[in-house]
Structure formats: structure tokens, C-alpha cells
Amino acid sequence: MPMITCDRFVANKQLDFHDWLEARRKGITATQVAHASTPAGYKEAVAEFLNPVEQMDNAFMAFGRDQEPVVASILKDKFDIMPNEWVIAHEDDRRWLATPDGLSLGHTMISEIKTTGSDWEPNKIPIRYRRQVQWQLFVTGAEACVFAWWLRVESANGFVPGWFEPKTVIMERDDKHIEKLVITAENLWSEVRGI
């Protein structure tokens, strides 16, 4: 697999958040295609694309934002995957975008990090996250993803990690799944650009 060329790193969330948001509006992201993969989700994805609503911050989001660098550091040590804040465009079609949470130096692996109020079995990760990962694998050209999740529990002082370290599972690239996601993305892009 060839390395991701410099021109495919479109915008960096840490360097310029506004530019990062604008870059994501020029195509279909992993979150959008995962959401649009059900009939109800598709309608919501179209509405959200046409009328973006800024999400109000809450304690769940703050916990995830605070813990993601900790998890990213663990994944760097264990899997040699560097944290990533870049929107990356697909090699052949710049409409297809992804921001994996981590990227290996050889660009053969990515990572995706979640904090959750429920533990998951490694073979029963929620479908929306599996779709998100497959899209990221498609866009980056990577072969596998280290999917990490860290349990969130409530304490007297707010949320705290439920474990010493996150749990992880390796998700392999699934080209048949990706084919379906590309169809969903094509339909979504045609609709939002047509409107």
C-alpha cells in the first residue's frame, strides 16, 4: 500500500478548527456515511448536512475529549500508531474524507477511540462504529484499525475511567462492506449537492 501523499492531508483540527470544519463540508465523512446507512439516519444526515447544528458540549463529550489523548498515548506505545487530527482525502476521489484518531507511520493501520457507558464484546462493537471504521480504512487505504474503547463510570466528582487501560480489538478491512458504504456516500452526496 502506498503512503498517503502530503496533498491528501487536507486540514488539521488543532491547527485551524474552522478550516477543519470547512474541509469536512466539501465531502462525505466517516461519521456521515455511518449515520446515513439506515433510512432514518439517511434523512437525518441530509438535514444535518444542509443545516449544520453546533453540538452543545456536555459531560459525556468532555470526558471523551479529555480521555482521548490518554488513550492515544497508550495506542502509540502498544501499536506504534500516532495521534491524528488531520482530515484525509481519498487518493482517487477527494469527496471522500476521514479523520481517524490515529495513523501508523507506514499508513497501514489506523485507530479509532471511543469512550462509552457500556462495555462491548470485541465481536459486537456497535454497527455504526464498524461502518465508521470501514470508511476510514477505505479513505486512508489502511488494512486494519485498532478500535479502542474505555468505559466511563460516574463518581462523586463526575465521570472517571472504569478501567486502568482501554480495551482494544483489531478490525480488518472489509471491501464488501466498503462497497455498500460508497453507494450510500454517492447517494448522499448527490442529494445534498442537488439541493
- CA 193, CA 16: separation in Å to the nearest integer? 25
Q: Taking a C-beta distance cutoff of 8 angstroms, is the pair 139, 89 a contact?
A: yes
* Closest-CA residue to 159 (of 55, 68, 64): 64
Reported as a single tens digit per residue, the pLDDT across 30-49 is: 999 999 999 999 999 998 88
SS3 of residue 52 by DSSP:
coil
- CA 20, CA 12: separation in Å to the nearest integer? 6
Reported as a single tens digit per residue, the pLDDT across 88-110 is: 999 999 999 999 999 999 999 99
pTM over 0.85: yes
- CA 24, CA 48: separation in Å to the nearest integer? 13
* Closest-CA residue to 30 (of 95, 125, 126): 95
Q: Look at residue 117 in the predicted model and tell me its pLDDT.
A: 86
CB burial class (10 A; 0-12, 13-18, 19+) of residue 157? exposed
Domains of the chain, with CATH numbers?
6-194 (3.90.320.10)
Q: Look at residue 56 in the predicted model and tell me its pLDDT.
A: 67
Helix or strand (DSSP H, E) at 169: strand 167-172
DSSP-derived secondary structure letter, 156: T
DSSP-derived secondary structure letter, 54: P
